[in-house]
Structure 1
């Protein structure tokens, strides 16, 4: 699966403390409506690096 390969590429380049994913959310839904984003933002603390990347799967 393409998304898994993209995650491996990111993890090989950066230290990833935790992945947060909102799988299956339609691209028609705005990011502010994604429950996964709300959960992730609740975990972000001072000194953390928040890196947003929209990964597109192959299907």
Structure 2
């Protein structure tokens, strides 16, 4: 019973990580210039992507 409960709790967590990684990959693929941080908006998004990648 405990193993089944643990599986039910870890599955959504893995799904959430997969979704977040997909968002990061999409941002980097669609806007490769973010790494240059040419504008304040680019810098904000690049900083967020860096922070999230470090937190994963």
Relative contact order (C-alpha < 8 Å, sep 6+): which is higher?
A: 1
TM-score normalised by the chain length of structure 2? 0.31
TM-score normalised by the chain length of structure 1? 0.30
Select the structure that is richer in helix.
2
